[in-house]
Amino acid sequence: MQQLMAGRILLVTGGTQGLGRAVAEAAAREGAAGVAIVGRSAEKAETALAAIRAAALEAGGERAQDAQFDALAIIADLSVPGEAERAVAETVGRFGRIDSLVNAAGATSRGGLLDTTRELLEEHLNLNVVVPFMTMQGAVADMTRRGAPGTILNVISMSMHGGQPYLAPYVASKAGLAGLTRNVAYAHRFDRIRINGLNIGWTATPGEAVTQRTFHGADDGWLERASAEQPMGRLGQPDEIADAIVFLLSDRSGVVTGSIIDWDQNVPGAYDQ
């Protein structure tokens, strides 16, 4: 353990499952003093909190049993106006500050240009752009108020480069988040607040399994078949991506800010013929 997050307070949206939960656990293992996770399900939140505390114990022995480590679950539907702001306020209220923020929550429903309703488009823009905007606004306001540096990581997507025809609202929203990430990084670089984005590729999460079954009629063998078709013989794993995110949140990533980094095994713009 390198203690990359030593003493830091981290807020993770979408932190009760999948990649968000993996980030929260990785941060706990890397010495975070406090981790707040946001999700809709109280049951998933309790399971995630147990795993986060276990990760802190694994890394720091009795650290997770005393006042040096704390974990908080915020039950919220981020699609509801005001809930993103409440998540930031509750984190600051519990821990006194936010040092790092990860926006991992988002919408991934299907829809092409001709069959996407205004409601579906607005759902994607709300969860994938408006919510990160508001959580960044709250986190950066806390950091600048204290005159303290900080780090933010927005989970974006390889699809922001263009994506599949059936992901039109998703692509529009993730491309918007990429632009927002660069804008805010530039605006607050002299506040020493570093803000980066990670374009993740196809990842093996419980949420992806639901997506494949719901929208693509996948059966129980979909993951094995999909893995066999990938260059590395498997899909990306949440714990691998979480390690990359924690690195980008930490001082070990140096002065990097405003970067949108592709984290995938396929290369945009490259072709066999």
Task: Give the pLDDT confidence of 55-112 residue by residue, as tens digits.
Answer: 999 876 555 445 579 999 999 999 999 999 999 999 999 999 999 999 999 998 899 9
Is CATH 1.20.58.1030 what the domain over 9-201+236-263 is classified as, yes or no?
no
CB 156 within 8 A of CB 104: no
Give the tokens for residue 100: 């790092």
The pLDDT score that the predictor gives to residue 228 is: 83
The pLDDT score that the predictor gives to residue 221 is: 81
166 is catalytic: no
The pLDDT score that the predictor gives to residue 89 is: 98
The pLDDT score that the predictor gives to residue 215 is: 74
Count of all residues that appear for the chain in the document: 273
Query: How far, in Å, CA of 205 to CA of 105, rounded?
Result: 13
Query: How far, in Å, CA of 203 to CA of 69, rounded?
Result: 30
Query: How far, in Å, CA of 13 to CA of 84, rounded?
Result: 9
pTM for the predicted model, two decimal places: 0.92
CB 144 within 8 A of CB 191: yes
The pLDDT score that the predictor gives to residue 187 is: 98
Whole-number Cα distances in Å, 76 to 41, 68, 92, 188, 211: 8, 26, 16, 28, 22
Given the residues 166, 170, 186, 271, the one annotated as active site: 170
Query: How far, in Å, CA of 54 to CA of 90, rounded?
Result: 23
Q: Where are the domains of the chain?
A: 9-201+236-263
The pLDDT score that the predictor gives to residue 67 is: 53
CB 184 within 8 A of CB 211: no
What are the pLDDT tens digits along the chain (273 aa)? Answer: 579 999 999 999 999 999 999 999 999 999 999 999 999 999 999 999 999 999 999 876 555 445 579 999 999 999 999 999 999 999 999 999 999 999 999 998 899 999 999 999 999 999 999 999 999 999 999 999 999 999 999 999 999 999 999 999 999 999 999 999 999 999 999 999 999 999 998 776 777 767 767 777 777 887 788 788 888 888 888 999 999 999 999 999 999 999 999 999 989 989 887
CB 64 within 8 A of CB 57: yes
CB 24 within 8 A of CB 10: yes
CB 106 within 8 A of CB 155: yes
CB 11 within 8 A of CB 98: yes
Closest CA to 260 of 184, 192, 207: 184
Query: How far, in Å, CA of 226 to CA of 223, rounded?
Result: 5
Beta-carbon contacts of residue 147 (< 8 Å; ≥ 6 apart)? none
Closest CA to 131 of 148, 154, 151: 154
What's the distance, Cα to Cα, between the start and end of the chain in Å?
44
The pLDDT score that the predictor gives to residue 236 is: 84
Phi-psi label, residue 33: left if phi above 0, alpha if psi -120 to 50, beta otherwise: alpha
Closest CA to 153 of 190, 212, 105: 105
Position of tokens 């795993």?
51
